[in-house]
Amino acid sequence: MKLKAFHKLSYGLYLVASEYQGKKSGYIANTAFQVTSDPEQLAISCHKMNKTTQVILESGNFSVSVLNKEVNMKIIGDFGFMSSTDIDKFNGINTITSKTGAPIVLDSSVAWFDCKVVSSVDLGSHYLIIGEVLDAEVISDDEPLTYQHYRDKYKMYSPKNSPTFIEKSILDAEFSASVGEEKEPEHEHIFDGESYVCVICGFTYNPEEGDPSMGIPAGTPFEDLPDDYKCPICNAGKEYFKKV
């Protein structure tokens, strides 16, 4: 079985949020999709170890915000790679409360759905949670973010708890076995010089490109980055970067 085939499945990227007893929780998901139209129902696949999963099951509600293509990477970093036990992900985030009681994130979003949980399926590592859409709204006509765009732009992998996670070593092995068949692996950035990978989230710092999102001009060597430089995706400090 060639696992890279799974990278040919297309997805969007969404922010799923819920609230129970005054505690908000949220995470970034690529597996949010409409499953029926009458009634309108969405499904999400949530890792059992994900804090938001528990909050959704307890509250019986969740919201899905459709992220835009120019998404603020701090949102991806905080909601995609940090735990609610370590930081308040919702600090400074513009939200409204939905009919079901779920918080709806408006920042970097083009549309949202407010869902009441109607069933869940135990898939082993994950729950597939089905929600009936009680309300929905379009925020802007900006282009939604696709998972492909995210992967191409940021050279990122799915986090370990994602339903679409694949071990990097397996992808590397598949690539090695297929050299000659393909031009370039989509999961690996090729540079002439050195690059630095964030060991937390997989973001690659390429000195030739710099990091425009953090105001770092092209051509800045890693050693010359300011001491307080942080990974634009997960906020990890320089000490978490490894030379490759």
Closest CA to 126 of 89, 164, 174: 164
Q: Please, what is the minimum distance in Å from the beta carbon of residue 73 to Fe ion?
A: 10
> In terms of CB distance, is 79 or 203 closer to Fe ion?
203
Q: Which is nearer to Fe ion, 43 or 198 (CB)?
A: 198
Strand partners, 34: 42
Residue with Cβ nearer Fe ion (13 or 231): 231
User: Based on CB atoms, which residue is closest to Fe ion, 24 or 74?
Assistant: 74
CA 139 to chain centroid, in Å, comes to 20
Closest distance of CB 159 from Fe ion, Å: 10
Q: Least distance in Å: CB of 198 to Fe ion?
A: 3
Q: At closest approach, how far in Å is the CB of 217 from Fe ion?
A: 20
CB-CB contact of 118 with 145 (8 Å): no
How is residue 131 written in tokens? 């929600």
For residue 19, the cross-strand partners are 24
Report, in Å, the least distance between residue 209 CB and Fe ion. Answer: 16
Nearer to Fe ion, 131 or 232 (CB): 232
Query: CB 233 → Fe ion: shortest distance, Å?
Result: 4
Binding site for Fe ion (CB under 5 A): 198, 200-201, 203, 231, 233-234, 236
Q: Considering beta carbons, is residue 66 or 200 the nearer one to Fe ion?
A: 200
Nearer to Fe ion, 19 or 78 (CB): 78
To the nearest whole angstrom, how small is the minimum distance from the Cβ of residue 228 to Fe ion?
15
Dist. CA 76–CA 206, nearest whole Å: 20
